[in-house]
Amino acid sequence: MNIILLGYMGCGKSSIGRDLASKLEMQCLDLDDFIEDQEKKSIAQIFADKGEIYFRKKENEYLKQVLETKNNHIISLGGGTPCFAGNIEIIKENTNVKSVYLKTSLEELVDRLYQEKEKRPLIAHISSRDDLKDFVRKHLFERSFYYNQAEYIISTDDRTIGEVTNEIQNTLF
């Protein structure tokens, strides 16, 4: 069985994925890292060189490949992955997958992302906290329809990585 973690950037998919994989003695796979390894370029460079349509097509291909070839993995998706190319349907239809939406409030996301925005190409250009809040609010509005189709929804607000990981374990097993 694979466990897929999905949610908006900054919700903790990668950190929680690593912690959960360690606790469950499973392999951890970050889809964005996998794409970068396969394409031999950073996500930002793929967007710059070939555009979002190319990236989303490749993201879909690599998601299918990972789900067909990997087992006993914690798979952390990119924030947009479930929202494009029918990916949420692929996830829902796969009988070897448990999907978990790491739900994080707008305020918490803005607090987390504002401190690390230089490391995130999608938001690095945003200069004020208010502009970041508007950006994230718009994305959450567009993406929550897809995120909420996950099998399980776990809140991450005001919780440590360990607390979230424990809840996922208790919910799934």
159 is known to lie in a ligand binding site: yes
104: exposed, middle or buried (Cβ count in 10 Å: 0-12, 13-18, 19+): buried
Structure tokens at 31: 């889809």
Domains and CATH numbers, the chain: 2-162 (3.40.50.300)
162 is known to lie in a ligand binding site: no
Contact 4, 91 (CB under 8 A): yes
Overall average pLDDT of the 31-50 stretch: 94
* Average pLDDT across the chain, whole number: 95
Residue 117, pLDDT score: 83
**DSSP code of residue 12:** S
Q: Whose CA is closest to 168, among 103, 93, 109? A: 103
Overall average pLDDT of the 138-157 stretch: 97
Structure tokens at 113: 């992302």
42 is known to lie in a ligand binding site: no
28 is known to lie in a ligand binding site: no
Spatial distance between the Cα atoms of 98 and 74, rounded to a whole number of angstroms: 10
Residue 3, pLDDT score: 98
What are the tens digits of pLDDT across the range 91-137?
999 999 999 999 999 999 999 999 888 878 789 889 999 999 999 99
Spatial distance between the Cα atoms of 40 and 54, rounded to a whole number of angstroms: 15
Overall average pLDDT of the 13-27 stretch: 96
φ/ψ (deg, to 5) at 156: -110, -5
13 is known to lie in a ligand binding site: yes
Residue 168, pLDDT score: 98
11 is known to lie in a ligand binding site: yes
112 is known to lie in a ligand binding site: no
10 is known to lie in a ligand binding site: yes
143 is known to lie in a ligand binding site: yes
Spatial distance between the Cα atoms of 32 and 62, rounded to a whole number of angstroms: 10
Residue 48, pLDDT score: 87
